[in-house]
Chains A and B, each alone.
Chain A
Amino acid sequence: MGLKAYTGEGWLLTKMEELINWGRKRSPWPLPYGTACCGIEMMCALAASYDMARFGAERPSFSPRQADVLIEAGTISKKMAPILRRIYDQMAEPKWVIAMGACACTGGVFRTYSTLQGINRVIPVDVYVPGCPPRPESLLYALMKVMEKIEKDHPLRALFDREIGQVDLRSCP
């Protein structure tokens, strides 16, 4: 039974995973990390006219501990890079990252000694949003993409990997 659940065939557990994913998908609380002009566009997406809360991004969480989606909007200088990494490390699992704007994706126009050439050099990124700056619609679209990604996730499988993967199953009765 346990093995079957582990390989993803157990009906109960796959349904359970769907339930969890459904719950997670509907409340991706963002951590706004606006460091430059893209941050203004992100604020616009969060504010009344575009209202990102419609998609469950209800409360911009300014503490990394209570956030699910890190929206990195803007230029990251090399001096800032370790701080970004630390913020990412402080976020509790599960967590996703949106790199918003050309600067966050690749360094953009700032091909200089002081700018980090893409935040994927320090943290893993789930969705890239091109544009300088991207329109708020693009950010909403990126959030939808994150939701799609959450939908395909296997949270219990990861749990089994962590908890039961250590146990030698042959020794179980």
Chain B
Amino acid sequence: MSLKDQVQSCLGPLVVAVSECQGDLSVEVSRENIKAALSKLKEDPGLSFDFLSDLFGVDNSELYKKTAAKPAKKAEAETAPEEPPKPQEFPPRFEVIYLLLSLKTNKRLQVKVRVPEENPVVDSVVSLFKAATWPEREAYDMYGIRFNGHPDLRRLLMWEGFPAYPLRKDYPLEGRGEERHLIYD
């Protein structure tokens, strides 16, 4: 039984999509089910994905913009546009990706959830993997994705009170002139 089948039979209806890229298996689950899915993968005796090697956020907004711009150009080049291009439906802006490793079988798995911009909240997996504490804080710091049930959700890299989420693609690389000030207490 391949890893793909194993994962699919373990997660059952929780799986939204499965893809494989150069031998790396990636499973998408819905946002509500992430904790259930990870605990199933961890508990399953055959899979036992018991090691969280990383967790991070992704901002896909620029990617979606590019894919939206492409077909419009093509249509212009070939024929005169007959109808105005209808607005495309895109998946939610953010993703949170969990990289799992099984210490027993030495297999790796990527689990993905999509997070909408309006309500960027995901359940925290700290109760399953303690290693998720800092990566979740980092994702919160850089993308503004909040993790429900995280014991200590503070910024990790930027200072307290930093007014933006710097890895969002609409944030300029050089910043907006934020400075941290010296306060003697």
Interface residues of A (CB under 8 A from B): 78-79, 81-82, 85-86, 111-114, 122
**Does B183 belong to the interface (CB within 8 Å)?**
yes
Residues of B within 8 A of A78 (CB): 159, 178-180
Instruction: Check B175 against A79 for contact (C-beta < 8 Å).
Output: no
Assembled-state Cα–Cα distance A112/B164 (Å): 14
Chain B interface residue bracket vs A: 10 to 19
Please state if B158 and A114 are interface contacts (CB–CB under 8 Å). yes
Q: Select from chain B the residue with minimum beta-carbon distance to A82.
A: B182
- Asked if A114 meets B171 with Cβ closer than 8 Å, knowing A78-B178, A78-B179, A79-B180, the reply is no
Q: Contact partner of B166 among A82, A85, A111, A113, CB < 8 A?
A: A113
Nearest chain-B residue to A78 (Cβ)? B180
Expressed in whole angstroms, the Cα–Cα distance for A122 and B182 within the complex equals 10
- 14 further A-B pairs in the complex, CB-CB below 8 A; given A86-B184, A114-B157: A78-B159, A79-B157, A79-B158, A79-B159, A81-B179, A81-B182, A85-B182, A86-B182, A111-B174, A113-B166, A113-B171, A113-B172, A113-B176, A114-B175
For B155, give the chain A residue with the smallest CB separation: A79
| Docked CA distance A65–B173 (Å) | 38
Looking at chain A's contact residues, the main secondary structure is: loop
Q: Given A79-B158, A79-B159, are A114 and B166 neighbors across the interface (CB < 8 Å)?
A: yes
Known contacts A113-B166, A114-B158, A114-B166; A82/B174 CB under 8 A: no
* B19–chain A nearest beta-carbon distance, Å: 33
Question: How far, in whole Å, are A36 and B130 apart by their CA atoms in the complex?
Answer: 29
Task: Give the complex CA separation of A86 and B172 in angstroms.
Answer: 29
In the bound complex, CA of A52 to CA of B144 (Å): 47
Which listed residue (B178, B183, B184) contacts A113, Cβ 8 A?
Answer: B178
Complex CA gap A39/B5 in Å reads: 52
Which residues in A have their C-beta under 8 angstroms from that of B171?
A: 113
Q: Does B73 contact A (CB under 8 A)?
A: no
Contacts of B145-168 to chain A: CB distance below 8 A: 157-159, 166
Contacts of B179 in A (CB 8 A): 78, 81
A81 touches B174 (CB 8 A): no
The interface residues of chain B lying within 8 Å CB-to-CB of A79 are 157-159, 180
CB of B136 to closest CB in A, whole Å: 19
B65 contacts partner chain A, Cβ-Cβ < 8 Å: no
Task: Please name 19 pairs of A and B residues whose Cβ atoms are closer than 8 Å in the assembled complex, sorted by A.
Answer: A78-B178, A78-B179, A78-B180, A81-B180, A81-B182, A82-B182, A82-B183, A86-B182, A112-B173, A112-B174, A113-B171, A113-B172, A113-B174, A113-B175, A113-B176, A113-B178, A114-B157, A114-B158, A114-B175
